[in-house]
Amino acid sequence: MRFPTRWLAPLLLCLTVLGSGAVSFSFASAYNAHPKLIVVIVIDQFRGDYLDRYHDQLGEGGFRLFLDHGANFTDCNYDYANTRTAPGHATLFTGAYSNGHGIHANEWWDAKKKKMVSSVEDGNTKIVGISSAGIGASPHNLMADTLGDELKLATQGKARVFGIALKDRAAILPAGFAGDAAYWIDQKSGAW
């Protein structure tokens, strides 16, 4: 097949302009600055439309502050049906499904130990702050980086990452591997 010569000059002109950098491409973002604070709030059984539905009933601080001055993703959906805490939080904070992050339930049968184990149970770690603490806990079963892990990497470790929740798995998994601390209420003592 013969290339028509009448297209040669316009083609060369386009390639020259694109190659010279005279045309630059950029990607727009709703928020281009580096945020000073990132707060992610997860409330079990709290539908996303409640924030809009009850916006006029919210006080000036709290959720209204987040809605009016923060980033609010109103159409963020996962094709996801696992409603347990550990896999749900792992999915939210890694962006991966259970087959990608490794957390498929709150607890499961460990064939080697011949018993049920928690998704965050880790005999190689120690829980501090509670004298009655038994087996340690960590995100060691998690197979993907979390938002907190990536934030630590992006800031060369300068970011501070904390997980705070009522349950261990809801605090530990979101904080990820690089988290500075995870705080939760101990079921036996009621202490943080």
**Active site (catalytic) residues:** 85
**181 φ, ψ (degrees, to nearest 5):** -165, 160
Instruction: Find residue 181's DSSP bridge partners.
Output: 162
Three-state SS annotation for 69-118 = HCCCCCCCCCCCCCCCHHHHHHHHHHCCCHHHHCCCCCEEEECCCCEEEE
Look-up: residue for tokens 């959720």? 63
Rg from Cα positions in the chain: 24
